[in-house]
Amino acid sequence: MGLVKIPHRGIMRFRLIGAVTVLDNAWKCRALHAGQFVGYGGFIKTLGTGAGTQTIMQVRNETMTTDMDYFATRPEFDVDAGSQLPQDGVFITNPFFRKDDIVCLDVDELCGGANSANAEFWLECEYEKEVEV
């Protein structure tokens, strides 16, 4: 018997309750295992209104020596398109994280009316978990 690494998939979830505001590193998750991000999703209940028609997110790793942004193109909730789902996000080439890294959700921009509210954003992860067999 011994330790074996078994591939797993998981989700890091961020819930934004109430008014969504521009904030850095406000919502945090600790990585329980080393791995990488393979997808994202979410929704926003209240898109908001006004000029500057997107609520734009970024995810970063605050544990790295220099904060590491995970999206080369940041996902957005687009008011004009009426989409309550995030769209157009593109991960960097190697979106990895280490065990115990702190991964943060930033809201980088809001629609002009600044009245976006109640959102959830999640990151799909792949990682290997050691188990005793």
Q: Which residues pair with 39 in a beta bridge?
A: 124
Cβ–Cβ < 8 Å for 122, 16: no
Quote the CA–CA distance of 36 and 47 in Å, as a whole number: 29
- Please give the pLDDT value at position 105: 93
61 close to 102: Cβ distance less than 8 angstroms: yes
Output the pLDDT for position 116: 84
Of 52, 102, 94, 100, which Cα lies nearest the Cα of 70? 94
Full set of structural domains in the chain with CATH: 12-126 (2.60.120)
pTM for the model: 0.86
Phi-psi region of 45 (alpha: psi -120 to 50; beta: other; left: phi over 0): alpha
Encode the chain (133 residues) as per-residue pLDDT tens digits: 688 888 899 999 999 888 888 888 778 999 988 999 999 999 998 887 766 688 899 999 999 877 789 999 999 988 888 889 999 999 999 999 999 999 999 988 887 766 788 999 999 999 988 888 8
pLDDT at 42: 94
CA atoms within 13 A on the CB side of 83: 15
pLDDT value, residue 12: 93
